[in-house]
Chains A and B, each alone.
Chain A
Amino acid sequence: MADLTSSRRTGILGFLTATRGRERLHWTDWVSYGYLCLGIFLMFGPVVWLVLSSFKDRNELDRFPPRFLPYAQETIEVDGFDEPLLAFRVTEGDLAGELVGQTRRAAGRAEVVVPANPDERIRLTTDQLEPVEGIAFATENYTQLFERFNFLRFFWNSTFITVMATLLMLLVNSMAAFALSKYQFRGRNAVLLLVIGTLMIPQTVVLVPLFLIVTELGMFNSLWGVIIPGAATPTGVFLLRQYMITIPDEILDAARMDKASEWKIFWRIVVPLSAPAIAVLAILAIMWRWNDFLWPLIVLTRTENFTLQLALNSFQGELQTDWPSLLAMTVLTLLPIAAVFMFLQKYIATGIASTGGK
């Protein structure tokens, strides 16, 4: 830290360009900046690639080798043609260097017109033509999500499931954790072991029985069929219990002497004091629910019930994949979770740090 301040640069820029060497770069500067840049590349590379790709049109996505920025072939308006024509530049022959619009193309031959003389059709081979391209963002990838697909419906389904499941989960888990951490009763440890023991059973094992129960209860193809089975999670119960154990019993006793009912003790004392742990669990629950795929895939079969994750999956057909829509929706699906993370990340750090104890 002393070296940091000695460089006498303040603010974000000063922090980001801090070095150990005073005049020249020390070798540790090279190593640490190299390491950090690699980290940034690994972390943000795929995301940036995804975002840029979501703005590419279908032809650009199919292109090999791929290009980093989204390019699209430019078009020119030529008199006498209703539609704009694809723009090419002629590379050889009489017209070398001329900008032309393509009117037809078939089997290695193309028919083009020079904009200045729209009536004369010129025939050229395609290898004499080079497409004129510019950076263009294919925003229609996004707009057609709303026009051709029921994006808002999927978004609402995902949001409803995430919010309801998170609330329900916090309620159930914190009540279970309260009972397991603050009440003495016969079999308490057995119950706790049972709860933690379920962590060891993979979800795929209980998938079929769970499906049968959900179907029997008439929740098949209902959003509640996704919400309710995940309401109690052993991880959440354990996380909250470990935190609640650190709340001194004397505070609860004091509340009892203050004539507070057990219900009131839970809401007025235990829940506010467990807020850091509950915040962590809330964030985790939001992420789990939002990104959940397998269980919704099983329970929800009708398109109007699809979550975003299922809708993304449905873009991937057996023969053909609608990449532009898929990528655009992926970006939109990432945004809410990224926002949640940005606003709540300090709670995650402090919460996780303090769940381990004091």
Chain B
Amino acid sequence: MASIELKDVRKAYGSVEVIKGIDLAIGHGEFCVFVGPSGCGKSTLLRMISGLEPITGGAIEIGGDVVNHIPAADRGLAMVFQSYALYPHMTVRQNLSFGLENINTPKGEIAAKVDEVSKMLKIDMLLDRRPKDLSGGQRQRVAIGRAIAREPRVYLFDEPLSNLDAELRVDMRGEISGLHKRLGNTMIYVTHDQIEAMTMADKIAVLRLGELEQFGRPLDLFNYPRNLFVAGFIGSPKMNFLKGAVSMSDRSLLTLNTGEEVTLPVEGFDHRAGQNVTLGIRPNDLQPAETGPIHLNVAAVEQLGTESYLYGELADGTRLTVHNPGQTRVQAGERVALSYQPHAVHLFDNDSTLSLRSAA
């Protein structure tokens, strides 16, 4: 079993703490994505799991064994690097077989394995070329093939698609997902792209500034973000945030900073009367309407045919995005009223930025 458990894992460079105590449990065969903005420590965390970066606190368990002091080579992991990190002076075949040679695999077995892996990844016609003669996508496949060839317990991917162009990225995304289904191994995948996270992951860990903000299934993160950061990070386009204060007399009324009054759901939220809160509404939960509580000065309209986006500002300067299925008649420069379904909103405390949704 190759489950991975992190217990209060910490990393400090001198007095600077970059990983501030992370607890995480990844089950066997799960595809877990670490996501976060750059500098959040997600790559460092991955390298700590791999053993390439020593940890300064806590414990890492792989398959139930603490591996804190086991060198990278002996943890039974394989890693795909952002820059692919292929050996430039070796052919693709040598790149694929290098790891197997290091564990003294018989020659015949190496050849068979290289054959199998290269066919699986459709790089069998490239075996005698060197990395510099390959395209970005081909290099990526070789890098993945190098990881597969050794049959590790766990695969680690460090932003493997960030050097590819958009179209290829979508293809490779599908292939890596397919690979996970076929191999059934535990995989940890680091990315800053929340779309990659949403589409590939069984579980997502959102990291910020060395701390774990939320860990869970993609749709749980989307539907029940624990705080403002996760709410803003997961989902594209970003969730709209409107600041205001709950009415003193009525918990179902919120006065926005613009002076407009909107209704709040009372069920399921723990807000107090008079509390300063942030109202979160996803762009697709807002609709232009004849009458509505919020008024938007439209600055730009994007018509994509099957869907359209309105971008604009509220009276207090808050930026807002509205996603409209289908086409819209609204034009830039207009002022439109927006309505929303009260049950679709999120509510966060302004001070702690935590969600005010009551624990179900």
Q: Which residues of A approach B to under 8 Å, CB–CB? A: 248, 250-251, 253-261, 264, 268-269, 272-273, 275
Contact = CB atoms under 8 A, between A and B. Distances in A.
A60 to B, nearest CB: 55
A277 to B, nearest CB: 14
A275 B71 CA distance: 29
Contacts of A248: 83, 85
B98 to A, nearest CB: 5
Contacts of B146: 254, 258
Nearest to A257: B79
Interface in B70-121: 71-74, 77-79, 81-83, 85-89, 98-99, 102-103
A258 B98 contact: yes
Given A250-B81, A264-B102, A257 B72 contact: yes
A146 to B, nearest CB: 44
A259 B89 contact: no
A260 B87 contact: no
A254 B102 contact: no
Contacts of A275: 89
A258 B81 contact: no
B139 interface: no
Nearest to B158: A250
A273 B79 contact: no
A184 to B, nearest CB: 11
Contact of B98 (A250, A260, A261, A272): A260
Nearest to A273: B89
B243 interface: no
**Nearest 7 Cβ contacts at the A-B interface:** A258-B99, A250-B85, A254-B85, A259-B102, A259-B73, A272-B89, A250-B81
A253 B79 CA distance: 9
A129 B4 CA distance: 106
Which applies to chain A's interface (DSSP): helix, strand, loop or mixed? helix
Contact-residue size bin, chain B (C-beta under 8 Å from the other chain): 20 to 34
A253 B86 CA distance: 11
B102 A258 contact: yes
B72 A256 contact: yes
Contacts of A273: 88-89
A248 B131 CA distance: 15
A270 to B, nearest CB: 11
B52 interface: yes
B52 A257 contact: yes
B79 A251 contact: no
A261 B52 CA distance: 13
Contacts of A256: 52, 71-73
A255 B74 CA distance: 13
Given A256-B52, A258-B150, A251 B72 contact: no
Given A250-B81, A264-B102, A257 B87 contact: no
6 contacts: A251-B86, A251-B87, A253-B52, A258-B102, A260-B99, A273-B88
Contacts of B77: 257
Contacts of A261: 73, 102
A260 to B, nearest CB: 5
Nearest to B76: A259
Contacts of B103: 259
Interface in B134-152: 146, 150
Contacts of B150: 258-259
Contacts of B82: 250
Given A250-B85, A258-B98, A273-B88, 11 more contacts: A250-B82, A251-B87, A253-B47, A255-B98, A256-B73, A257-B79, A257-B99, A260-B102, A261-B73, A261-B102, A269-B87
